């Protein structure tokens, strides 16, 4: 995973973090925010946060649901309408496995048929729920670059884990 701390990426990661703060704190999930951005035009295409949409939705999934609804198409058709240089910003790297049985965010990204070329993440997924996240390798193997945006890790983890039981030392 590459690492970058550029003002543009920090701006979008800050917006994603603000979205994550809208997610209700629960001990069973991370509070995550996400943005789909057309990097050619510097335009936000969709935003989402954990549990924003009906059901047990993740932030990336909420982005896809909202964009599909806006364009009156099925989620599976999003890849055909996304601009060529669409990127995804997410405060926590996309999940590779869902304990709820829902489709993992990595699989959702891969189903877009390479419409997303780069995923910018604020932190690696903590191993609390599903262990080591192998999703990054799946994305990279599919030609999708995964970039760590440095500088906000502590703040992102505090927001992500709000509502979790603190381990005693």
User: What tokens appear for 29 in the block?
Assistant: 């999930």
φ/ψ of 35, rounded to 5, equals -135, 135
Helices (H) and strands (E) in the chain, counts: 6, 6
> Is 60 annotated as catalytic?
yes
Which one is catalytic: 52, 54, 60, 140? 60
Strands annotated E in 16-150 = 33-38, 43-49, 86-92, 116-123, 145-149
Residues acting as catalytic residues? 60
């Amino acid at each position: 995973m590459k690492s970058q701390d550029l003002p543009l990426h920090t701006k979008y990661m800050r917006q994603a973090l603000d979205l994550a703060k809208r997610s209700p704190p629960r001990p069973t999930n991370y509070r995550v925010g996400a943005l789909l951005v057309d990097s050619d035009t510097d335009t936000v295409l969709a935003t989402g946060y954990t549990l924003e949409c009906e059901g047990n939705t993740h932030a990336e999934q909420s982005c896809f649901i909202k964009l599909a609804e806006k364009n009156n198409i099925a989620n599976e058709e999003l890849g055909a309408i996304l601009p060529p240089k669409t990127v995804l910003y997410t405060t926590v790297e996309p999940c590779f496995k869902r304990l709820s049985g829902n489709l993992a965010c990595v699989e959702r990204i891969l189903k877009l048929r390479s419409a997303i070329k780069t995923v910018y993440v604020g932190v690696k997924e903590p191993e609390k729920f599903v262990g080591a996240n192998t999703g990054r390798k799946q994305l990279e193997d599919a030609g999708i670059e995964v970039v760590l945006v440095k500088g906000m890790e502590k703040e992102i983890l505090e927001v992500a884990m709000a509502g979790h039981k603190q381990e005693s030392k």
